[in-house]
Chain A
């Protein structure tokens, strides 16, 4: 068992707090992605799990051991760094085998293990090369190979794909995911890229300013964001946000726009919140906002379009606000067109204006 448990993890740099009590339980074999903007504390959290940062307070457990006071080497973890951190003066073989230097295995066993890992990563041909002779993707694979060779309980990835170009990143994403399926080890992966988080994770942990905003499956964080921050951080382009007021099944927005929720039934808790404080922020995913030729909920003028091939992003000025919608790629509107935008009332998210938390 190699579950990882963070219990009220706190980190201060001097007097500056950077993590404010992180609680997280990662199950054995789970792929968890920590995602958030720069400075949110995701890498610090990962480094504390690795033992590369001191813990101000709280507890880190790996398996059934509390590892707070254990050296990194004694935690049976492996880490892949953003800069790969493969040694330029060593061949690929030596780099991959570096983690076995302190192992008690025989030389033959070590060589066999290196060859196994190289074969798994399709790097057998490159074993005698030095990092300077490798491409970015190959270097990253060497770094992963070095992590794999010790067969650790937990893999920690610290933004390992951020230096690769878009095509290679997509390829490496798939490779890491396949690797996870094959080795079945616990993986904690840090990234600032929400696409990476959505495509790879079993569960996503969204962080901001040293706090966890939401923990959930990619489906949950996309369709049921806990708050406005998550709603805008996850999903590209970000969720449209408009301020309004809820009144008797309708949302009254700026510019006298009224959105009829069409008899949408709210939960008791949501209904009570709306009754107590009817001021809301309305969130609408661009994917859910349709460009239609029929009368819709909003009328606006197309300011800009971004063709993506299979679909087109439409930026429309609705009153003083700009809304982003997705239109089919084949017959998109053009700039200057008058368009109608429509949305299913069930797909509208309502957030509390006081704390940004999702009402429903």
Chain B
């Protein structure tokens, strides 16, 4: 930034200062803030109830009070002492981690190829991939199941994770993000002697980190909370993922909400960690820094 720019921006700041000290909301702003506040409440209430219920005794579960009359850690002790819980947790971690890595790798590889290479049938391949987004999971479950059965993948980690190793959404997301990477970057690397795989990995991938972070969060959360397919493909309790395992707390006679909520509360911890690790990358603008300014 030139000295001139600094002077200009300083002047602007100086002029705006009196306005900043006088807080004034227009009616439009008020409505926007109100809607955001209500939206926030709607989002946070289930989480608060989940935490609240996890500290309640069974008799108090159906009271809608937020603060338990007799708070207890018994539910946590019960869940953590139940050996099955760790198995479910580890299975969920394996599934979510492997599918996340796989998606980040393959979706970006395919997205990059579709975006940056000109080859016959490129558009058809892209449309074919996109069209799979329109098929509901319920329709795919049966063929997936038959496939798993024929290949002997039922009740295995591979069986749980194979349908999600690559996604059309991820491919689409990455393709769109690679559009923002100027071809000059890739051509400069090509002239400097890198092969196409090296260009993808060394030049293009670091430039789309925000998209990779977003994709990683989506995929991890999606697989962490997946229920229907893991329920169908697994038979033994040892292979259950966390959501499937937690569902066993609801049996015919009764639903043990306090245990389900406790398990759910514990299971949010890895997702929070994933979000905290990746959210700092979700800051756009890094791509533009190397371009004309």
Contact = CB atoms under 8 A, between A and B. Distances in A.
Interface string A87-102: 1110000000011011
Contacts of B190: 52, 71-73
Contact of B193 (A73, A84, A163): A73
A98 B2 CA distance: 29
Interface string B180-209: 001011011111111000000001001101
A81 interface: yes
Nearest to B293: A136
B139 interface: no
B184 A87 contact: no
A86 B188 CA distance: 8
Contacts of A77: 191
Q: Which of B184, B207, B288 has the most CB of A within 10 A?
A: B184
Contacts of A102: 192-194
A131 B289 contact: yes
A60 to B, nearest CB: 15
Contact of B286 (A89, A139, A146): A89
A83 B184 contact: yes
A83 B191 contact: no
Nearest to A164: B292
Contact of A52 (B1, B187, B203, B209): B187
Interface residues of A, number: 31
A86 B2 CA distance: 21
Given A85-B182, A87-B203, A102-B194, A79 B290 contact: no
Given A81-B184, A81-B187, A87 B290 contact: yes
B287 interface: yes
Interface in B260-293: 286-293
A72 B191 contact: yes
A88 B293 contact: no
Interface in A257-308: none
A327 B1 CA distance: 38
Contacts, number: 80
B290 A88 contact: yes
A79 B293 CA distance: 20
A85 B188 contact: yes
Contacts of B1: 135
Q: Which of A73, A85, A99 has the most CB of B within 10 A?
A: A85
A78 B293 CA distance: 23
Given A132-B289, A136-B293, A88 B207 contact: yes
Contacts of B292: 82-84, 136, 163
A146 B2 CA distance: 25
A101 B290 contact: no
Contacts of B203: 87
A141 interface: no
A130 interface: yes
Contacts of B193: 73, 99, 101-102
Interface in A131-184: 131-132, 135-136, 139, 146, 150, 163
Given A73-B190, A73-B193, A88 B184 contact: no
Contacts of A99: 192-193
Contact of B187 (A85, A101, A131, A136): A85
Q: Which of B1, B182, B185, B289 has the most CB of A within 10 A?
A: B289
B207 A89 contact: yes
Given A83-B184, A85-B185, A87-B185, A139 B293 contact: yes
Q: Which of A81, A101, A150 has the most CB of B within 10 A?
A: A81
A220 B286 CA distance: 46
A89 B207 CA distance: 7
A51 B190 CA distance: 10
A47 to B, nearest CB: 8
B228 to A, nearest CB: 40
Contacts of A339: none
A132 B289 CA distance: 5
B291 A101 contact: no
Contacts of A135: 1-2
Given A83-B184, A85-B182, A78 B207 contact: no
A131 B191 contact: no
Nearest to A81: B184
A105 to B, nearest CB: 13
Contacts of A132: 289-290
A4 interface: no
A50 interface: yes
A88 B204 CA distance: 11
Contact of A73 (B184, B192, B291): B192
A136 B2 CA distance: 10
Contacts of A81: 184, 187-188
A163 B207 CA distance: 22
A79 B194 contact: no
Nearest to B288: A88
Given A72-B191, A79-B191, A99-B192, A88 B289 contact: yes
A53 to B, nearest CB: 10
Contacts of B207: 87-89
A101 B194 contact: yes
25 contacts: A51-B191, A52-B191, A71-B190, A73-B190, A73-B193, A79-B188, A79-B191, A83-B184, A83-B291, A83-B292, A84-B184, A84-B291, A86-B290, A87-B206, A87-B207, A87-B290, A88-B287, A89-B206, A89-B286, A131-B289, A131-B290, A135-B1, A139-B290, A139-B293, A150-B192
Ranked 5 nearest A-B pairs via Cβ: A88-B290, A132-B289, A88-B289, A102-B193, A73-B193
Interface of A: 50-52, 71-73, 77-79, 81-89, 98-99, 101-102, 130-132, 135-136, 139, 146, 150, 163
Interface of B: 1-2, 182, 184-185, 187-194, 203, 206-207, 209, 286-293
